[in-house]
Chains A and B, each alone.
Chain A
Amino acid sequence: MTGPLRIGFIPLVDAAALIVAVDKGFAAAEGLDVTLVREVSWSNVRDKLNIGLFDAAHLLAPVAIASSLGLGHVKVPIVASFNLGLNGNAITVSPALHAAIMAEIDGDPFDPMVTALALSRVVAARRNSGTEPLTFGMTFPFSTHNYQLRFWMAAGGVDPDEDVHMVVLPPPYMVDSLASGQVDAFCVGAPWNSVAVDLGVGHILHFVSDILVRAAEKVLAVRQNWSEKNPDVLAALVRAAVRAAEFIEQPQNRAEVARILAPPERIGVDAEVIQRTLDGRLKISPDGTMRESSRYLLVGREGVARPDPVQAAWLYAQMVRWGQATISPEALGTAQAVFRPDLYDAALGRAGKLADASGAFGAFTGPPFDANDIAGHLAAFKIGRRKS
């Protein structure tokens, strides 16, 4: 049906729908000949997609938006007609920082407001004693991890640009950096939080679903002009990914999915660790404490595969809040146009149906998000770097 496709991905569990679509044969069943290319950095994925070395890619949703807006790099319009997942990240802290936060905690340690306030007291104590500010690792300037960490700590009064250091680290380096003390905490996707806990160098403080109940994470991204030239190929790719997502969400298939994702040329981590993240049953402390959440990582459940433009608007609002983007109706429109539910519907041949709970973020603090009044929404948050 088509020429061979090259699709880039980063070794993370939320590439599952893409990897399973290819390795379980759903893509071949759609007449697609796909070669998956494992990449080492988001910059590589973005650049190779931008210049056409990749036809499609597993991409951070904010990178797709930044690319379309020309932020931080070359402007190349990107569209996403399939959402690879919601949530899936976690905040992991070093044993020392964990102990410091727990010593300051006043309330439920799974409540992000409680931990954010405790963090704020830890940060103040360090400042008063002249100790180096804490360092937080995240995966990319335009990443959900960056925005989720900032959203959380700012709620407790910690200014992420003034009170702590925020550093970019490639996901596979996170665990080593925590062990060596280069960072005190990080926010990253599966399986790296579990790897840190297994090695005894970290405690999972929060699943990001504690901070936002629904947060778009990675998308299956293509260049807009490619989507216009290859609508049938894109539709076939979306159908293959939809079938893969449905397969992954069947609990009886999880062990097989974990085995498909485990080999070194895919994620390169033990199947058992991967299955924990798919099941949402994670060891959160080196002492073996388990925590279960049905919202840890959603792949295809609750209609999440259908891109939701309101999610794109929320991500754009975070870019505005932290001074990465200026606010304008045009930019908002461009950001929202990255998420293409119409292409998703066209691929499946069904009329548009809103994703379940569209526009519901379930943020633990602040007013409900309103895409039509981003300035008003952001005014409710004290800490930020908005450009005038």
Chain B
Amino acid sequence: MGSESSPKIVIVDESPIRAAILEEGLREAGFTGVVHISEMQNLLARIYALDPDVILIDLENPSRDVLEQMFQVSRAVRRPIAMFVDQSDAASIQASVDAGVSAYIVDGLKKERIKPILDLCISRFNAFAKLQDELDRAKSALEDRKVIDRAKGILMKLKGLTEDEAYVLLRSTAMREKKKIGEIAQSILTASELLK
């Protein structure tokens, strides 16, 4: 797809990392006219100034409602704007809603040309969500380890155990109570705070 025929795409996203991932993917696929808006103030005016062919917005962004106004205030836009999905396209909207991305396009752009953009965004959004999930899990694993270390210290001191014995006690208690070791460790910390 040459740059002359590449539609101008605006990404409305407060997350700079996710926007960068989307932007990179779109550029790699040959969509060169990509602009990222991260500031939600005067969003509509910014969009009108850029006059994009396609607008992509994260469903977690409350400003999505602001975009709905584009379908009302036709006097403020040079061209009428329509949603990507029409009556027959429930599957597309379902896929984009599932991925957390919503697309709006300027009327007149062929649907075949929008499909690859939306598909790409959906896969990039999903990739970002997976990354975020892994990051969260790594973070909580780190938190757990800190809590477990402190709980072990308390058990060692109060019960005169070695570090290994303290850990075995935590683990066996967790198995018996069908809980995570981190949860048992946290309750030991809480209890020791209360008993101070």
Contacts and interface: CB of A to CB of B under 8 A. Distances in A.
Contacts of B83: 73-74
Interface stretch (B54-62, B110-118, B132-140): B54-62
B97 A167 contact: no
Interface of A: 40-44, 47-48, 50-53, 70, 72-75, 139-141, 161, 167-170, 172-173, 177, 180, 182, 324
Interface string B86-126: 11011001100110001000000000000000000000000
A182 B41 contact: yes
Contacts of A324: 72
23 contacts: A41-B59, A41-B63, A41-B64, A43-B65, A44-B64, A47-B93, A51-B90, A70-B87, A73-B71, A167-B44, A167-B69, A168-B44, A168-B66, A168-B69, A169-B65, A169-B66, A170-B62, A172-B62, A173-B40, A173-B62, A173-B63, A177-B41, A182-B41
Closest 6 pairs between A and B when the two form their complex, measured CB to CB? A170-B62, A141-B72, A40-B62, A41-B64, A168-B69, A41-B65
Contacts of B89: 74
B109 to A, nearest CB: 18
Given A51-B94, A51-B97, A141 B68 contact: yes
A140 B90 contact: no
Contact of A72 (B59, B68, B86): B68
B85 interface: yes
Given A51-B94, A51-B97, A170-B62, 4 more contacts: A50-B93, A73-B83, A74-B85, A167-B44
Main secondary structure, interface of A, reads: loop
B41 A48 contact: no
A387 to B, nearest CB: 12
A53 B40 CA distance: 27
Nearest to A162: B75
B148 to A, nearest CB: 28
Contacts of B68: 42-43, 72, 140-141, 168
A170 B63 contact: yes
A47 B97 contact: yes
A342 B61 CA distance: 37
Contacts of B5: none
In the complex, which of the residues B71, B72, B87 has the most CB atoms of chain A within 10 Å of its own CB atom?
B72
Contacts of A48: 97
Contacts of A75: 87
B91 to A, nearest CB: 9
Contact of B65 (A50, A73, A161, A170): A170
Contacts of B102: 43, 47
B42 A170 contact: no
B97 to A, nearest CB: 6
Nearest to A182: B41
Contacts of B94: 51-53
Given A47-B102, A51-B97, A53-B97, A72 B65 contact: no
Nearest to A177: B41
B60 to A, nearest CB: 6
B66 A170 contact: yes
Contacts of B67: 43
A66 to B, nearest CB: 10
A50 B61 CA distance: 19
A86 B94 CA distance: 32
Contact of B41 (A44, A72, A180): A180
A180 B89 CA distance: 40
Contacts of A168: 44, 65-66, 68-69
